[in-house]
Amino acid sequence: MLCVPVTLTRLIIRFAPLFSKRIWEHVLVLIVGALLTPGKRTVTAVLRIMGLSQERQFQKYHRVLNRARWSSVAVARELLGLVVDTFVPVGSVSVGIDDTLERRRGKKIKAKGIYRDPVRSSHTHMVKASGLRWLCALVLAEIPWAGRVWALPFLTALCPSERYHQQRGQRHQTLPEWAGQLVGLMHRWLPGREVVVVADSSYAVIELLKEVSDTPGVSLITRLRLDAALYDPAPPRRPGQNGRPRKKGARRPMLRQVLSDPQTQWRTVRVNNWYGGGGREVEVCTDTAVWYHTGLPSVPIRWVLIRDPQSEFASQALVTTQLAHAPLPMVEWFVRRWTMEVTFEEARAHLGLETQRQWNDWAIGRTTPALFGLYSLVTLMAHALLRAEARVVRPTAWYVKVRPTFSDALAVVRRELWSAGHFPISSSNSEVVEIPRSLLERFTEAVCYAA
Protein backbone atom coordinates (compact mmCIF):
# COMPACT_ATOMS: atom_id res chain seq x y z
CA MET A 1 0.00 0.00 0.00
CA LEU A 2 1.31 3.46 -0.93
CA CYS A 3 2.28 5.49 2.12
CA VAL A 4 2.63 9.26 1.77
CA PRO A 5 3.62 11.53 4.70
CA VAL A 6 0.80 13.57 6.17
CA THR A 7 2.52 16.88 5.38
CA LEU A 8 2.61 16.05 1.69
CA THR A 9 -0.80 14.37 1.64
CA ARG A 10 -2.43 17.66 2.62
CA LEU A 11 -1.17 19.16 -0.63
CA ILE A 12 -1.76 16.24 -2.98
CA ILE A 13 -5.27 15.55 -1.68
CA ARG A 14 -6.40 18.92 -3.07
CA PHE A 15 -6.35 17.36 -6.53
CA ALA A 16 -8.30 14.20 -5.61
CA PRO A 17 -11.81 15.62 -6.41
CA LEU A 18 -10.66 16.21 -10.01
CA PHE A 19 -10.36 12.46 -10.66
CA SER A 20 -12.54 9.42 -10.13
CA LYS A 21 -11.72 7.24 -7.13
CA ARG A 22 -10.19 4.45 -9.21
CA ILE A 23 -8.14 6.81 -11.38
CA TRP A 24 -6.92 8.76 -8.35
CA GLU A 25 -5.21 5.67 -6.90
CA HIS A 26 -3.18 5.35 -10.10
CA VAL A 27 -2.51 9.10 -10.28
CA LEU A 28 -1.07 9.06 -6.77
CA VAL A 29 1.36 6.30 -7.76
CA LEU A 30 2.46 8.26 -10.83
CA ILE A 31 2.98 11.47 -8.83
CA VAL A 32 5.09 9.86 -6.11
CA GLY A 33 6.97 7.72 -8.63
CA ALA A 34 7.79 10.72 -10.82
CA LEU A 35 9.22 12.49 -7.76
CA LEU A 36 11.40 9.54 -6.80
CA THR A 37 12.52 8.42 -10.27
CA PRO A 38 15.99 9.50 -11.44
CA GLY A 39 16.66 9.82 -15.15
CA LYS A 40 13.85 9.19 -17.63
CA ARG A 41 10.27 9.92 -16.58
CA THR A 42 8.52 7.11 -18.41
CA VAL A 43 5.60 5.19 -16.93
CA THR A 44 7.70 2.02 -16.78
CA ALA A 45 10.48 3.82 -14.88
CA VAL A 46 7.89 5.08 -12.41
CA LEU A 47 6.51 1.58 -11.88
CA ARG A 48 9.99 0.20 -11.24
CA ILE A 49 10.88 2.81 -8.62
CA MET A 50 7.53 2.15 -6.90
CA GLY A 51 8.21 -1.59 -6.72
CA LEU A 52 5.53 -2.43 -9.30
CA SER A 53 7.76 -3.92 -11.99
CA GLN A 54 5.81 -7.19 -11.73
CA GLU A 55 2.39 -5.54 -11.99
CA ARG A 56 0.46 -7.52 -14.61
CA GLN A 57 -2.08 -4.75 -15.20
CA PHE A 58 0.53 -2.12 -15.99
CA GLN A 59 -1.57 -0.71 -18.83
CA LYS A 60 -3.96 0.93 -16.34
CA TYR A 61 -1.22 3.43 -15.45
CA HIS A 62 -0.72 4.29 -19.12
CA ARG A 63 -4.46 4.84 -19.46
CA VAL A 64 -4.32 7.64 -16.90
CA LEU A 65 -2.51 9.68 -19.54
CA ASN A 66 -3.84 8.40 -22.85
CA ARG A 67 -7.47 7.52 -22.15
CA ALA A 68 -8.86 8.49 -18.73
CA ARG A 69 -11.37 11.33 -18.51
CA TRP A 70 -9.98 14.22 -16.50
CA SER A 71 -9.26 17.88 -17.21
CA SER A 72 -5.70 19.18 -17.14
CA VAL A 73 -7.13 22.73 -17.17
CA ALA A 74 -8.96 22.03 -13.90
CA VAL A 75 -5.72 20.69 -12.43
CA ALA A 76 -3.92 23.87 -13.55
CA ARG A 77 -6.55 26.03 -11.86
CA GLU A 78 -6.18 24.14 -8.57
CA LEU A 79 -2.40 24.38 -8.78
CA LEU A 80 -2.57 28.12 -9.39
CA GLY A 81 -4.74 28.53 -6.32
CA LEU A 82 -2.25 26.61 -4.18
CA VAL A 83 0.73 28.63 -5.43
CA VAL A 84 -0.98 32.00 -5.01
CA ASP A 85 -2.38 31.20 -1.55
CA THR A 86 1.04 30.01 -0.37
CA PHE A 87 3.49 32.50 -1.87
CA VAL A 88 1.40 35.52 -2.98
CA PRO A 89 -1.46 35.81 -0.48
CA VAL A 90 -1.74 39.59 -0.89
CA GLY A 91 -0.79 42.17 -3.49
CA SER A 92 -0.41 41.81 -7.22
CA VAL A 93 0.34 38.45 -8.80
CA SER A 94 3.27 38.51 -11.23
CA VAL A 95 2.93 35.94 -14.02
CA GLY A 96 5.45 35.22 -16.75
CA ILE A 97 4.50 33.84 -20.16
CA ASP A 98 7.08 32.26 -22.42
CA ASP A 99 7.37 29.45 -24.95
CA THR A 100 9.83 26.59 -24.83
CA LEU A 101 10.78 23.80 -27.20
CA GLU A 102 10.54 20.14 -26.26
CA ARG A 103 12.86 18.28 -28.61
CA ARG A 104 10.96 15.22 -29.83
CA ARG A 105 11.12 13.00 -32.92
CA GLY A 106 8.77 10.36 -34.28
CA LYS A 107 6.37 9.87 -37.16
CA LYS A 108 3.38 9.41 -34.86
CA ILE A 109 3.86 12.74 -33.06
CA LYS A 110 1.45 14.83 -35.11
CA ALA A 111 1.87 18.26 -33.52
CA LYS A 112 5.64 18.48 -33.90
CA GLY A 113 7.32 21.03 -36.12
CA ILE A 114 10.72 22.52 -37.02
CA TYR A 115 11.54 25.48 -34.79
CA ARG A 116 14.51 27.60 -33.85
CA ASP A 117 16.31 26.07 -30.90
CA PRO A 118 16.80 28.98 -28.47
CA VAL A 119 19.34 27.08 -26.35
CA ARG A 120 21.70 26.08 -29.15
CA SER A 121 21.26 29.20 -31.29
CA SER A 122 23.03 32.53 -30.96
CA HIS A 123 22.74 35.97 -32.53
CA THR A 124 24.98 34.94 -35.42
CA HIS A 125 24.14 31.24 -35.75
CA MET A 126 20.68 29.65 -35.87
CA VAL A 127 20.04 25.98 -35.06
CA LYS A 128 16.72 24.34 -35.89
CA ALA A 129 15.28 21.36 -34.05
CA SER A 130 12.29 19.06 -34.38
CA GLY A 131 9.95 19.11 -31.44
CA LEU A 132 6.84 20.37 -29.72
CA ARG A 133 6.31 24.00 -28.85
CA TRP A 134 4.74 24.73 -25.47
CA LEU A 135 3.48 28.02 -24.06
CA CYS A 136 3.89 28.17 -20.28
CA ALA A 137 2.38 30.47 -17.68
CA LEU A 138 4.46 30.71 -14.50
CA VAL A 139 3.90 32.57 -11.24
CA LEU A 140 6.98 34.70 -10.48
CA ALA A 141 6.96 34.50 -6.69
CA GLU A 142 9.45 35.23 -3.94
CA ILE A 143 10.36 31.99 -2.14
CA PRO A 144 11.12 32.86 1.52
CA TRP A 145 13.57 30.02 2.28
CA ALA A 146 15.33 30.42 -1.09
CA GLY A 147 15.79 34.17 -0.80
CA ARG A 148 15.00 34.77 -4.47
CA VAL A 149 12.26 34.72 -7.09
CA TRP A 150 11.30 31.37 -8.61
CA ALA A 151 9.13 30.82 -11.68
CA LEU A 152 6.45 28.25 -10.77
CA PRO A 153 4.58 26.75 -13.77
CA PHE A 154 0.88 26.12 -13.43
CA LEU A 155 -0.55 26.15 -16.98
CA THR A 156 1.06 24.78 -20.14
CA ALA A 157 -0.54 24.77 -23.59
CA LEU A 158 0.61 22.91 -26.69
CA CYS A 159 1.00 25.27 -29.67
CA PRO A 160 1.10 23.08 -32.81
CA SER A 161 2.96 24.06 -35.93
CA GLU A 162 1.40 25.91 -38.85
CA ARG A 163 1.61 22.80 -41.01
CA TYR A 164 -0.37 20.86 -38.40
CA HIS A 165 -3.31 23.25 -38.76
CA GLN A 166 -3.03 23.43 -42.56
CA GLN A 167 -3.24 19.65 -42.89
CA ARG A 168 -6.47 19.68 -40.87
CA GLY A 169 -8.04 22.71 -42.52
CA GLN A 170 -7.86 24.75 -39.34
CA ARG A 171 -6.85 28.36 -38.77
CA HIS A 172 -3.36 28.61 -37.35
CA GLN A 173 -3.05 30.34 -33.98
CA THR A 174 0.07 32.37 -33.31
CA LEU A 175 1.82 32.53 -29.96
CA PRO A 176 0.31 35.95 -29.07
CA GLU A 177 -3.15 34.53 -29.75
CA TRP A 178 -2.46 31.59 -27.46
CA ALA A 179 -1.13 34.03 -24.85
CA GLY A 180 -4.38 35.99 -25.03
CA GLN A 181 -6.32 32.84 -24.17
CA LEU A 182 -4.06 32.11 -21.20
CA VAL A 183 -4.50 35.67 -19.95
CA GLY A 184 -8.28 35.24 -20.16
CA LEU A 185 -8.10 32.09 -18.04
CA MET A 186 -5.96 33.80 -15.40
CA HIS A 187 -8.43 36.69 -15.25
CA ARG A 188 -11.29 34.28 -14.53
CA TRP A 189 -9.28 32.18 -12.06
CA LEU A 190 -8.04 35.13 -9.97
CA PRO A 191 -11.08 37.40 -9.52
CA GLY A 192 -10.37 40.55 -7.57
CA ARG A 193 -6.57 40.18 -7.85
CA GLU A 194 -4.28 42.41 -9.89
CA VAL A 195 -2.36 40.27 -12.39
CA VAL A 196 0.85 41.61 -13.98
CA VAL A 197 1.87 39.54 -17.01
CA VAL A 198 5.51 39.71 -18.12
CA ALA A 199 6.68 38.52 -21.56
CA ASP A 200 9.50 39.04 -24.03
CA SER A 201 9.39 41.03 -27.27
CA SER A 202 7.67 38.19 -29.18
CA TYR A 203 4.45 39.21 -27.45
CA ALA A 204 4.76 42.95 -28.10
CA VAL A 205 1.82 42.76 -30.52
CA ILE A 206 -0.79 45.48 -30.78
CA GLU A 207 -3.70 43.01 -30.89
CA LEU A 208 -2.54 41.27 -27.69
CA LEU A 209 -1.90 44.56 -25.89
CA LYS A 210 -5.35 45.78 -26.88
CA GLU A 211 -6.95 42.56 -25.62
CA VAL A 212 -5.13 42.82 -22.28
CA SER A 213 -5.88 46.54 -21.89
CA ASP A 214 -9.60 45.77 -22.25
CA THR A 215 -9.37 43.14 -19.48
CA PRO A 216 -9.88 44.77 -16.06
CA GLY A 217 -7.30 43.94 -13.41
CA VAL A 218 -4.73 42.56 -15.89
CA SER A 219 -1.71 44.35 -17.37
CA LEU A 220 1.04 43.25 -19.74
CA ILE A 221 4.70 44.34 -19.60
CA THR A 222 6.98 43.54 -22.51
CA ARG A 223 9.72 45.06 -24.63
CA LEU A 224 8.94 47.73 -27.20
CA ARG A 225 10.68 48.39 -30.48
CA LEU A 226 12.70 51.59 -30.51
CA ASP A 227 11.17 52.46 -33.90
CA ALA A 228 7.54 51.89 -32.86
CA ALA A 229 5.03 54.39 -34.25
CA LEU A 230 3.78 56.37 -31.24
CA TYR A 231 1.16 59.13 -31.34
CA ASP A 232 -0.65 61.61 -29.15
CA PRO A 233 -4.11 60.60 -27.94
CA ALA A 234 -6.90 61.34 -30.38
CA PRO A 235 -8.37 64.85 -29.92
CA PRO A 236 -11.94 65.04 -28.62
CA ARG A 237 -14.67 65.24 -31.25
CA ARG A 238 -16.22 68.62 -31.89
CA PRO A 239 -20.00 69.02 -31.66
CA GLY A 240 -21.59 68.03 -34.96
CA GLN A 241 -18.36 66.67 -36.42
CA ASN A 242 -18.92 64.08 -39.14
CA GLY A 243 -16.89 60.99 -40.02
CA ARG A 244 -15.42 58.17 -38.03
CA PRO A 245 -13.78 58.92 -34.67
CA ARG A 246 -10.04 59.44 -34.87
CA LYS A 247 -7.79 56.76 -33.39
CA LYS A 248 -4.69 58.87 -32.86
CA GLY A 249 -3.32 62.37 -32.72
CA ALA A 250 -0.05 63.87 -33.90
CA ARG A 251 2.99 61.66 -34.50
CA ARG A 252 5.59 61.62 -31.76
CA PRO A 253 9.35 61.12 -32.11
CA MET A 254 10.53 57.52 -32.15
CA LEU A 255 12.08 56.19 -28.96
CA ARG A 256 15.40 55.91 -30.77
CA GLN A 257 15.30 59.68 -31.23
CA VAL A 258 14.29 60.23 -27.60
CA LEU A 259 17.23 58.07 -26.54
CA SER A 260 19.75 60.18 -28.45
CA ASP A 261 18.15 63.53 -27.68
CA PRO A 262 20.41 65.47 -25.25
CA GLN A 263 17.34 67.27 -23.86
CA THR A 264 15.79 64.05 -22.56
CA GLN A 265 15.52 64.13 -18.78
CA TRP A 266 16.72 60.93 -17.13
CA ARG A 267 16.10 59.74 -13.59
CA THR A 268 18.36 57.32 -11.71
CA VAL A 269 16.67 54.40 -9.95
CA ARG A 270 18.08 51.38 -8.14
CA VAL A 271 16.72 47.99 -9.21
CA ASN A 272 16.92 45.17 -6.68
CA ASN A 273 17.89 41.66 -7.86
CA TRP A 274 19.02 42.76 -11.29
CA TYR A 275 18.78 39.48 -13.24
CA GLY A 276 19.47 37.41 -10.14
CA GLY A 277 22.38 39.50 -8.92
CA GLY A 278 22.56 42.38 -6.50
CA GLY A 279 21.17 45.86 -6.88
CA ARG A 280 21.99 47.96 -9.93
CA GLU A 281 21.45 51.61 -10.77
CA VAL A 282 19.96 52.45 -14.17
CA GLU A 283 18.61 55.60 -15.77
CA VAL A 284 15.00 55.74 -16.91
CA CYS A 285 12.61 58.12 -18.59
CA THR A 286 8.90 57.50 -19.18
CA ASP A 287 5.79 58.90 -20.80
CA THR A 288 2.38 57.81 -22.09
CA ALA A 289 1.39 57.56 -25.75
CA VAL A 290 -0.82 55.73 -28.23
CA TRP A 291 0.65 52.84 -30.21
CA TYR A 292 -1.00 52.51 -33.59
CA HIS A 293 -0.45 50.77 -36.91
CA THR A 294 -2.61 51.02 -40.02
CA GLY A 295 -5.44 48.49 -39.96
CA LEU A 296 -4.99 47.69 -36.27
CA PRO A 297 -6.62 49.10 -33.12
CA SER A 298 -4.95 51.88 -31.19
CA VAL A 299 -3.62 51.05 -27.72
CA PRO A 300 -2.88 53.56 -24.94
CA ILE A 301 0.45 52.58 -23.38
CA ARG A 302 3.15 53.74 -21.01
CA TRP A 303 6.71 53.33 -22.24
CA VAL A 304 9.92 53.34 -20.22
CA LEU A 305 13.37 53.84 -21.71
CA ILE A 306 16.24 52.19 -19.80
CA ARG A 307 19.92 52.95 -20.26
CA ASP A 308 22.98 51.90 -18.31
CA PRO A 309 25.21 54.70 -16.95
CA GLN A 310 28.16 52.29 -17.21
CA SER A 311 27.28 51.34 -20.82
CA GLU A 312 27.53 47.61 -20.09
CA PHE A 313 24.24 46.70 -21.78
CA ALA A 314 22.31 48.14 -24.69
CA SER A 315 19.50 50.56 -24.03
CA GLN A 316 15.99 49.11 -24.29
CA ALA A 317 12.37 50.12 -23.96
CA LEU A 318 9.54 48.56 -21.98
CA VAL A 319 5.82 48.98 -22.53
CA THR A 320 2.84 48.38 -20.26
CA THR A 321 -0.90 48.49 -20.82
CA GLN A 322 -1.43 50.00 -17.36
CA LEU A 323 -0.81 53.75 -17.59
CA ALA A 324 -0.55 54.10 -13.80
CA HIS A 325 2.54 51.89 -13.51
CA ALA A 326 5.67 53.60 -12.22
CA PRO A 327 9.03 53.00 -13.97
CA LEU A 328 10.80 51.24 -11.08
CA PRO A 329 8.13 48.55 -10.48
CA MET A 330 7.95 47.97 -14.23
CA VAL A 331 11.68 47.28 -14.45
CA GLU A 332 11.64 45.06 -11.36
CA TRP A 333 8.72 43.03 -12.71
CA PHE A 334 10.39 42.63 -16.08
CA VAL A 335 13.78 41.45 -14.80
CA ARG A 336 11.99 38.62 -12.99
CA ARG A 337 11.32 36.92 -16.30
CA TRP A 338 14.87 35.50 -16.50
CA THR A 339 13.84 32.97 -13.83
CA MET A 340 11.56 31.30 -16.38
CA GLU A 341 14.62 30.13 -18.32
CA VAL A 342 16.03 28.72 -15.08
CA THR A 343 12.81 26.76 -14.53
CA PHE A 344 12.87 25.33 -18.07
CA GLU A 345 16.46 24.17 -17.63
CA GLU A 346 15.89 22.65 -14.18
CA ALA A 347 12.78 20.84 -15.41
CA ARG A 348 14.96 19.19 -18.06
CA ALA A 349 17.78 18.41 -15.63
CA HIS A 350 15.81 17.18 -12.60
CA LEU A 351 12.29 16.26 -13.75
CA GLY A 352 13.09 14.37 -16.93
CA LEU A 353 11.51 16.76 -19.42
CA GLU A 354 12.12 15.54 -23.00
CA THR A 355 12.68 11.96 -21.76
CA GLN A 356 9.07 10.77 -21.94
CA ARG A 357 8.17 8.53 -24.87
CA GLN A 358 4.42 8.90 -25.43
CA TRP A 359 3.08 9.23 -28.96
CA ASN A 360 -0.66 9.27 -28.18
CA ASP A 361 -2.15 12.77 -28.59
CA TRP A 362 -3.78 12.80 -25.15
CA ALA A 363 -0.66 11.45 -23.45
CA ILE A 364 1.54 14.05 -25.13
CA GLY A 365 -0.83 16.85 -24.19
CA ARG A 366 -0.88 15.76 -20.54
CA THR A 367 2.60 14.49 -19.70
CA THR A 368 4.66 17.63 -20.37
CA PRO A 369 2.23 19.96 -18.49
CA ALA A 370 2.27 17.44 -15.63
CA LEU A 371 6.08 17.53 -15.44
CA PHE A 372 6.05 21.33 -15.43
CA GLY A 373 3.35 21.29 -12.74
CA LEU A 374 5.51 18.89 -10.76
CA TYR A 375 8.08 21.70 -10.45
CA SER A 376 5.55 23.85 -8.58
CA LEU A 377 4.31 20.89 -6.54
CA VAL A 378 7.86 20.11 -5.37
CA THR A 379 8.30 23.75 -4.33
CA LEU A 380 5.03 23.66 -2.37
CA MET A 381 6.01 20.40 -0.70
CA ALA A 382 9.45 21.71 0.24
CA HIS A 383 7.84 24.85 1.66
CA ALA A 384 5.55 22.73 3.85
CA LEU A 385 8.42 20.52 5.04
CA LEU A 386 10.85 23.35 5.76
CA ARG A 387 8.60 24.76 8.43
CA ALA A 388 9.82 21.94 10.67
CA GLU A 389 13.31 21.48 9.17
CA ALA A 390 15.75 24.39 8.98
CA ARG A 391 18.50 22.77 6.92
CA VAL A 392 17.87 22.41 3.22
CA VAL A 393 21.27 22.97 1.58
CA ARG A 394 23.58 19.94 1.51
CA PRO A 395 26.86 21.06 3.16
CA THR A 396 30.24 20.09 1.77
CA ALA A 397 33.82 20.82 2.77
CA TRP A 398 34.83 22.08 -0.67
CA TYR A 399 31.83 24.20 -1.63
CA VAL A 400 29.81 26.70 0.37
CA LYS A 401 26.27 26.88 -0.97
CA VAL A 402 24.30 29.70 0.59
CA ARG A 403 21.02 29.65 -1.32
CA PRO A 404 19.06 26.44 -1.92
CA THR A 405 18.12 25.54 -5.47
CA PHE A 406 15.45 23.32 -6.93
CA SER A 407 17.68 20.25 -6.60
CA ASP A 408 17.84 20.87 -2.83
CA ALA A 409 14.05 21.20 -2.65
CA LEU A 410 13.61 17.97 -4.60
CA ALA A 411 16.06 16.20 -2.28
CA VAL A 412 14.06 17.31 0.79
CA VAL A 413 10.84 15.94 -0.72
CA ARG A 414 12.48 12.66 -1.77
CA ARG A 415 13.99 12.19 1.69
CA GLU A 416 10.55 12.61 3.25
CA LEU A 417 8.94 10.18 0.80
CA TRP A 418 11.61 7.52 1.31
CA SER A 419 11.44 7.88 5.10
CA ALA A 420 7.73 7.05 4.96
CA GLY A 421 8.65 3.47 3.99
CA HIS A 422 8.14 2.22 7.58
CA PHE A 423 11.66 1.50 8.81
CA PRO A 424 11.46 -0.84 11.86
CA ILE A 425 13.88 0.24 14.58
CA SER A 426 15.65 -2.46 16.59
CA SER A 427 14.75 -2.38 20.25
CA SER A 428 18.26 -3.41 21.34
CA ASN A 429 20.10 -0.68 19.47
CA SER A 430 18.28 2.49 18.50
CA GLU A 431 21.08 3.48 16.11
CA VAL A 432 20.44 0.45 13.89
CA VAL A 433 17.65 0.82 11.34
CA GLU A 434 16.28 -2.32 9.73
CA ILE A 435 15.39 -1.72 6.08
CA PRO A 436 12.83 -4.08 4.55
CA ARG A 437 14.34 -6.20 1.78
CA SER A 438 11.79 -5.00 -0.78
CA LEU A 439 12.72 -1.38 -0.08
CA LEU A 440 16.45 -2.19 -0.17
CA GLU A 441 16.00 -3.78 -3.60
CA ARG A 442 14.23 -0.65 -4.83
CA PHE A 443 17.13 1.48 -3.55
CA THR A 444 19.67 -0.80 -5.22
CA GLU A 445 17.90 -0.83 -8.54
CA ALA A 446 17.49 2.94 -8.51
CA VAL A 447 21.22 3.44 -7.90
CA CYS A 448 22.44 0.78 -10.32
CA TYR A 449 20.35 1.91 -13.27
CA ALA A 450 20.56 5.67 -12.67
CA ALA A 451 21.78 7.64 -15.67
The confidence score (pLDDT) of residue 107 equals 84
The confidence score (pLDDT) of residue 398 equals 83
Q: What percent of the chain has pLDDT over 90?
A: 62
Task: List, in order, residues 6 or more apart from 354 with CB less than 8 Å away.
Answer: 102, 103, 104, 348
Whether the CB-CB separation of 21 and 361 falls below 8 Å is answered with no
Q: Which residue has the higher pLDDT, 451 or 154?
A: 154
The neighbour count for residue 313, using CB atoms within 10 Å, is: 12
Can you tell me the distance from the alpha carbon of 381 to that of 5, in angstroms, rounded to the nearest whole number?
11
Provide the pLDDT confidence category of residue 119 given band limits of 50, 70 and 90.
confident
Provide the pLDDT confidence category of residue 426 given band limits of 50, 70 and 90.
very low
Whether the CB-CB separation of 230 and 289 falls below 8 Å is answered with yes
Q: Which residue has the higher pLDDT, 228 or 419?
A: 228
The confidence score (pLDDT) of residue 421 equals 58
Whether the CB-CB separation of 41 and 34 falls below 8 Å is answered with yes
Q: What percent of the chain has pLDDT over 70?
A: 95
Can you tell me the distance from the alpha carbon of 316 to that of 223, in angstroms, rounded to the nearest whole number?
7
Q: What is the mean pLDDT of residues 222-240?
A: 91
Lowest mean pLDDT among 55-69, 87-101, 220-234, 272-286: 272-286
The confidence score (pLDDT) of residue 358 equals 85
The confidence score (pLDDT) of residue 329 equals 94
Per-residue DSSP letters for 342-391? Answer: HHHHHHHHHS-TT-----SHHHHHHHHHHHHHHHHHHHHHHHHHTTT---
Can you tell me the distance from the alpha carbon of 134 to that of 42, in angstroms, rounded to the nearest whole number?
19
Residues 40-90: tens digit of each pLDDT: 899 999 999 888 888 889 999 999 999 999 999 999 999 999 999 999 999
Strand, coil or helix: what is 332?
helix
- The residues pairing with 280 across neighbouring beta strands, listed in sequence order, are 271
The neighbour count for residue 241, using CB atoms within 10 Å, is: 9
DSSP code of residue 68: -
Provide the pLDDT confidence category of residue 34 given band limits of 50, 70 and 90.
very high
Q: Can you give the residue ranges of every domain in the chain?
A: 221-236+245-319
Provide the pLDDT confidence category of residue 210 given band limits of 50, 70 and 90.
very high
Can you tell me the distance from the alpha carbon of 328 to that of 334, in angstroms, rounded to the nearest whole number?
10
The confidence score (pLDDT) of residue 403 equals 81
Provide the pLDDT confidence category of residue 451 given band limits of 50, 70 and 90.
low
Percent composition of the chain: helix, strand, coil (DSSP 3-state, to 5): 40, 20, 40
The alpha helices in 190-314, defined as continuous H runs, are 206-213, 255-260
The neighbour count for residue 316, using CB atoms within 10 Å, is: 17
- For 7, 150, 155, 303, the CA distances from 10, given in Å and listed in that order, are 6, 22, 21, 44
Residue 323: is its pLDDT beyond 90? yes
Residues 376-410: tens digit of each pLDDT: 999 999 999 886 555 667 777 788 777 888 999 99
The confidence score (pLDDT) of residue 16 equals 95
